[in-house]
A and B are shown apart, each in its own frame.
Chain A
Amino acid sequence: MGEYGTVQTAYENGTGPARPTGPPEAPGASWRTTPRPPLVRQREGKVIAGVAKGLADHLGIPVVAVRVALVLTSIPFGAGLAVYVFLWATMREVGTVDPAAPTDPLSPVSTPTSSTGSTTSTTSTTAGTGSSSVRHHVDLASLRTWLRSGNQAVLITLLGVAALAVAGALWLGSAGLDVHAEVILPVVAIVIGAIFFWSQLDDTDTLGARRPVRWIWLVVGLGLTILGLVGLLVRGTNLTELWQVAGAVLAALVGVAVLSAPWILRLWSNLRVEQAARIRATERADIAAHLHDSVLQTLALIQRQSGDAATVARLARAQERQLRSYLYDEDARAGTLGAALTAAMGEVEDLHGVPVQLVVTGDRPMDEHLDALVKAVREATWNAVRHASPPVSTYVEVGPDAVEAFVRDHGAGFDLDTVPDDRAGVRESIIGRMERHGGTARIRRRTDGTEVELRLPVRQPVEPEQPSAATPPADPRSQPTPGSTPDPQTQEQAS
């Protein structure tokens, strides 16, 4: 019981139970800031069942030391193996646990062994745990890649079983019994096969992220086990009888398989149903959490401010937008012109409470020129919601050689010539900005509203032979060149 031994020693050495009421020593404080990870089996970086890994994480010692200790302690009476099997049976398996992150405080209650773990974690006091766990973490990263690269799991398992075999032989020998190779070898084969087989079984548990089964291990494990069993059964018989026995075993296996197949299938389908139900429940919980965080909060706000129609409309609109982006998964478009425009229009709506109808056709990734376009569109829309009357419509069309934007309102409109010079909004933020980026801006007064038209030539992303590509948009110009602004009307308007 090597591992327990060290824990016990730490307990008996008795720096005492480090309760919160205990003396606030410096080392005590240092380890309490980085709490011990709970005693759980780790999926990540495991070899057989993750017991050694979990133990090493919990104790803050290198996993190799734990493994060596387990193998060595298996020699006298297989004690290490007993410990291993016991821990395997009782330790809870978890996915990846970041040792740096404190895990949930509820987990130690779930299994008896884990509660043991929590006891040891409160009783053992090590001054250097904090620093060693950091170093350990770094070691783990390299260890994991190393573990995945090779099959040294086989090596460790073989070592373990060899140690067991030696132990068994010694024990039997000391007990005065004969050691028969034809008994030992099949047993060893069965044990190795079972370990291979079960280690894969452990991976395919019913819930959670499932790792692909390494079929070769299953096959090897099964083969070894069957070989071992057959070897045990046919001990002392000759080769001709061996075939008969093998046939009988095969027949029995087939019979069992046929009988149990429907039953297993039903179990399996039940399991799938249960799994699906659980996934649905999780999804529902997610949605419920989202609704609670967003919709219910907004509804509460709306009820409290029900007298203020403008605020209510603004809150409702903002909530609607947020819910839409959640439902239609608009996060997937992050980094595109469409997403940037949606965000900009949402901002305008929030600031002024006037709904803006945004339509975008086509899309392309953002760059600095499109960023300028978005800012100009935002400014134009901002003007529209402030000075004009709704409905305000913004339409952006991403074409092969240009992005065109139209912002339309239904207000009385404004005449650029009558706008005082100190109002830099239209002249600078819209027209000037567009021209600096090689685009054009046009403001049209209509009988029942104003329309701002913006055009920005863009490089064709797939066909570089497009004529518009002759005007490199990556060229930041302060003055519009005649070639880049083909619209004479804009020149007039701007000057």
Chain B
Amino acid sequence: MTDPRTIRIVIVDDHHMFRTGVRAELTSLSATPRNGAFTLEIAGEAGAVESAVQVIKEQQPDVVLLDVHLPGGDGHGGADVIRACTAVQSQAGVPVRFLALSVSDAAEDVIAVIRAGARGYVTKTINAEELLTAIGRVADGDAVFSPRLAGFVLDAFGAAAGEVAEIDEELDRLSAREREVMRLIARGYQYKEVAKELFISVKTVETHVSSVLRKLQLSSRHELTAWAMGRRLL
């Protein structure tokens, strides 16, 4: 984030009112100068699975704000969009990143889009500034975890019950450091606050979170697979 750059986004949500609201908030916030800022260009909008896939393929955005529940497709909403767009690259030549945005905190919804390939999950009650930060983070290829998602991860990996991975590469459990990071995020800490608390750099925090995201996507832990199976994702 050295020089100002432009992040092109597509908003996918079946509620027109919500799209308009997000667009207005992001536009006004993006116009005000901030440090380490990027400008935001809203390249398109869509309200259903098919139209979303079409818009994303046409526009090749950097980030897609994706609602979890969408009409159309195979009935899996946002997860269908992600799967249909796996090969699509942004104009910069990197894969299109997806940031899931939903009113739902239900585990099935979260796990479905994350396992389909979303880089992050935030609830719609997030404020515009945090949303902007999340968009920037996802555009950089990092992961965005809401406190609720972090809590869910701790639950799903048995970390709350004290299970810790012996080696970092283990897919079915979190390492001690990842667990610490997740706990702090669940407690409402921003990434930079996590970094300060653990005496590590923000980049390291981002690495840990991305690693957790990878585990979340690839792990065959029973709880995760059960949810995924329930949604016919496997």
Contact = CB atoms under 8 A, between A and B. Distances in A.
Interface residues of A, number: 21
B178 to A, nearest CB: 14
Interface stretch (A179-187, A233-241, A353-361): A353-361
A353 B154 CA distance: 29
B36 interface: no
A362 B155 contact: yes
A357 B147 contact: yes
Contact of A359 (B125, B159, B186, B193): B186
B151 A359 contact: yes
A400 B162 contact: yes
B151 A395 contact: yes
B106 interface: yes
A397 B188 CA distance: 13
A399 B161 contact: yes
Chain A at the B interface: SS class: strand
Contacts of B161: 362, 399-400
A408 B188 contact: yes
A399 B155 contact: no
B227 interface: no
A4 interface: no
A52 interface: no
A360 B151 CA distance: 7
B224 interface: no
A400 B161 CA distance: 6
A324 B193 CA distance: 30
A421 to B, nearest CB: 30
Nearest to A363: B155
A397 B161 CA distance: 9
Interface string B42-68: 000000000000000000000000000
Given A359-B186, A408-B187, A408-B189, A397 B147 contact: no
- Interface residue tally of chain B, by bracket? 20 to 34
B183 interface: yes
A359 B160 CA distance: 12
A361 B160 CA distance: 7
Instruction: Name the residue in B106, B151, B187 with the highest tally of chain A Cβ atoms < 10 Å from its Cβ.
Output: B187
Contact of A357 (B106, B155, B162, B188): B188
Contacts of B105: 324, 328
B162 A359 contact: no
A393 B106 contact: no
A176 B87 CA distance: 96
Contacts of A328: 105-106
A393 to B, nearest CB: 3
Contacts of A406: 187
A151 to B, nearest CB: 45
B148 interface: yes
11 contacts: A359-B148, A360-B151, A361-B152, A362-B160, A395-B151, A395-B183, A397-B186, A399-B160, A399-B162, A400-B162, A451-B187
| Pairs A-B, 8 closest by C-beta atoms | A393-B188, A359-B151, A361-B160, A395-B187, A362-B160, A406-B187, A361-B154, A408-B188
Interface of A: 324, 328, 355, 357, 359-362, 391-393, 395, 397-400, 406, 408, 446, 448, 451
Given A324-B105, A361-B155, A398-B160, 19 more contacts: A328-B105, A328-B106, A355-B125, A357-B148, A359-B147, A359-B148, A359-B186, A359-B187, A361-B159, A392-B188, A393-B187, A393-B188, A395-B183, A395-B186, A395-B187, A397-B183, A399-B162, A400-B162, A451-B187
